[in-house]
């Protein structure tokens, strides 16, 4: 049965609707606008509309002249109201838009559209989200079941590491205390980097500089997934091997929705620079090149000064989250410089 002009609160509601039998209106965020012409010479616009629940591809044809004109004036990230018909294209649902306009201020509920994390990170949205995390142990082995403590001890023995290091590198025993973000599309001198931090005990009410934003770990995770969902590209150095799996696991612990699959090999939005530049030559056999090595080889200022990853946990224990944030920011700045150098060699 056809349903006409139903207003959709969330795009996810369309997943159970039948293509060809549904028309409606919705508020959404416009992404990835592209104009084109068919082989027969017919103009069209392709785009994507998204909200916190997901997204759908959009098609605007030349028989909707008003909508075609509106598409020419709408930028990526615009909050819009659309009138659409649910269609099927090659087995996948898409929205054929007959009308589209920019939403008036206050007309749309931005929390519904953009989801949790919007309030804390709306001004940090990036075209190319470059990020890095710092983690510390967060488990007292004296308070866990004996079998769990034994598993940590055995792993530490096998890897010839201290138990604290093992726990700090595991999302099941550690936590994120700093997540630095910046836009890789910004210029070398123009890229501000912000650190979202989880203050140590006793420093929750401390005053921090503007580039440091204190919050809880669940709030940090919500802010990250908001930023990742809004970015056209996510850039990391070993993000597939460490940062993203850690973020996903901590989100599972806190029951925070993972809004973007950054681990899928088919997801070209996530560019991990490690396979591109860190696994060349002799390091292929002995292990990937560190961020420090690649920076040195490319003549880029290394973020590794008088601090390294092994010092993060004791620095946090001393309450010096500012020093950790500075270190974290340095990694993001270096990763962004490598990305800019490599960008010309990348294919979309």
| Chain CA centroid to CA 102, Å | 25
Pick among 3.90.480.20, 2.40.50.140, 1.10.3720.10, 2.70.98.10: CATH of 3-113: 2.40.50.140
Q: Quick one: CA torsion of 148, 149, 155, 156, rounded to 10 degrees?
A: 160
What is the structure's pLDDT at 286? Answer: 46
* Tens-digit pLDDT profile for residues 36-45: 999 999 999 9
Q: In the chain, which residue ranges form alpha helices assigned H by DSSP?
A: 65-73, 110-114, 118-121, 146-158, 163-168, 217-230, 244-254, 273-277, 283-286, 291-298, 312-317, 321-343
Q: What are phi and psi of 4, to 5 degrees?
A: -110, 140
What is the structure's pLDDT at 280? Answer: 60
pLDDT at residue 158 tops 60 = yes
What is the structure's pLDDT at 103? Answer: 93
Q: Tell me the average pLDDT across 320-327.
A: 95
The domain ranges of the chain are: 3-113, 116-138+173-343
* Tens-digit pLDDT profile for residues 103-149: 998 898 888 788 889 889 989 989 899 999 999 999 888 888 988 88
Q: Which tokens sit at 326? A: 């500075």
* Tens-digit pLDDT profile for residues 194-231: 999 999 998 888 899 999 999 999 999 999 999 998 88
pLDDT at residue 51 tops 90 = no
Q: Which tokens sit at 160? A: 């010839």
Residue bearing the bigger pLDDT, 193 or 305: 193
Residue 180 · residue 322 · CB < 8 Å? no
pLDDT band at 161 (very low <50, low <70, confident <90, very high): confident
What is the structure's pLDDT at 44? Answer: 92
- Tokens 């931090």: give the residue: 197
Q: Tell me the average pLDDT across 340-346.
A: 79
Residue bearing the bigger pLDDT, 348 or 180: 180
Q: In 127-185, which residue ranges form alpha helices assigned H by DSSP?
A: 146-158, 163-168
pTM of the model: 0.80
What is the structure's pLDDT at 236? Answer: 96
First-to-last C-alpha distance (Å) of the chain: 41
Residue bearing the bigger pLDDT, 304 or 339: 339
| β partners of residue 23 | 85
* Tens-digit pLDDT profile for residues 232-272: 899 999 999 999 999 999 999 999 989 889 998 877 889 99
Q: Do domains 3-113 and 116-138+173-343 have the same CATH topology?
A: no
Cα separation, 321 vs 177, whole angstroms: 8
What is the structure's pLDDT at 4? Answer: 56
Tell me which DSSP letter residue 181 carries. Answer: E
116-138+173-343 adopts what CATH topology?
Nucleotidyltransferase; domain 5 (3.30.420)
Nearest to 100 by CA among 52, 29, 37, 38: 29
* Tens-digit pLDDT profile for residues 299-308: 887 777 777 7
pLDDT at residue 94 tops 70 = yes
Residue 7 · residue 14 · CB < 8 Å? no
pLDDT at residue 298 tops 90 = no
């Amino acid at each position: 049965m056809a349903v006409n002009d139903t207003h959709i609160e969330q795009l996810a509601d369309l997943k159970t609707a039948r293509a060809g039998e549904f028309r409606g209106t919705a508020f959404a965020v416009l992404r990835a606008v592209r104009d084109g012409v068919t082989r027969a010479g017919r103009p069209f616009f392709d785009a994507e509309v998204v909200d916190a629940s997901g997204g759908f591809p959009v098609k605007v044809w030349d028989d909707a002249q008003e909508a075609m004109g509106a598409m020419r004036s709408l930028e990526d990230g615009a909050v819009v109201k659309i009138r659409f018909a649910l269609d099927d294209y090659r087995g996948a649902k898409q929205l054929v838009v007959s009308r589209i306009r920019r939403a008036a201020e206050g007309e749309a509920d931005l929390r519904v559209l953009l989801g949790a994390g919007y309030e804390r990170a709306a001004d940090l949205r990036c075209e190319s989200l470059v990020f890095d995390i710092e983690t510390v142990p967060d488990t007292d082995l004296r308070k866990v079941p004996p079998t769990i403590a034994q598993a940590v001890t055995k792993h530490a023995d096998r890897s010839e590491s201290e138990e604290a290091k093992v726990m700090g590198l595991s999302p099941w025993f550690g936590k994120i205390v700093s997540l630095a973000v910046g836009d890789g599309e910004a210029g070398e001198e123009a890229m501000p980097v912000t650190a979202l931090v989880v203050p140590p005990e006793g420093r929750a009410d401390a005053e921090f500089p503007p580039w440091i934003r204190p919050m809880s770990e669940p709030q940090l995770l919500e802010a990250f997934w908001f930023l990742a969902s809004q970015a056209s590209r996510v850039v990391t150095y070993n993000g597939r091997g460490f940062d993203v799996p850690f973020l996903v696991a901590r989100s599972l612990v806190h029951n925070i929705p993972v809004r973007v699959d950054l681990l899928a090999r088919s997801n070209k939005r996530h560019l991990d620079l490690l396979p591109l530049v860190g696994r060349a030559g002799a390091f292929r056999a002995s292990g990937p090149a560190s961020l420090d090595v690649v920076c040195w080889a490319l003549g880029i200022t290394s973020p590794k000064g008088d601090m390294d990853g092994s010092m993060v946990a004791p620095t946090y224990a001393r309450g010096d989250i500012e020093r950790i944030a500075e270190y974290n920011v340095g990694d993001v700045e270096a990763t962004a410089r490598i990305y800019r150098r490599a960008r010309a060699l990348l294919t979309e």
